[in-house]
Amino acid sequence: MTYHAKVVSGHVALPEDLRREAGIEDGDSLVVEVDPNGGLTMKTYAQVVREVQSEFRAMAVPGSAPEDRNLVDELIAERRADAARENAKLEEWQSRQTS
């Protein structure tokens, strides 16, 4: 279906039917892109996030991150272990300096 939108003082007014069909609600942030032919593509922020998440999922190596794995917790544990090793080295160095 084709809709008519009007630009007034730099604001684009979208018809209610179009907003409803596209799932655009008051207060939504929209991302507007200009294609190589000069046309416009308009998406909600939520649509862009879903597209990016889908692209990243497609790049994931199957079996590399099982659903029951929490990669954030693993990263935090690794960083804490690194910090503990660094602190141990520092304490060892400081004890040699005072001996």
Look at residue 69 and tell me whether its pLDDT is greater than 80. no
| Cα distance between residue 41 and residue 92, in whole Å | 60
pLDDT digits (tens, 9 = 90+) for 9-34: 999 899 999 999 988 998 888 999 99
pLDDT digits (tens, 9 = 90+) for 48-65: 999 999 998 888 777 666
Residue 65 has a pLDDT of 61
List the structure tokens of 15: 């018809």
Q: What is the DSSP string of 19-40?
A: HHHHT--TT--EEEEE-TTS-E
| Cα distance between residue 54 and residue 48, in whole Å | 10
- % the chain with pLDDT above 70: 93
Q: What is the DSSP string of 59-99?
A: HSPTTSS-TT--HHHHHHHHHHHHHHHHHHHHHHHHHHHH-
The overall pTM is greater than 0.85: no
SS3 35: coil
> pLDDT tier at 66 (50, 70, 90 boundaries)?
low
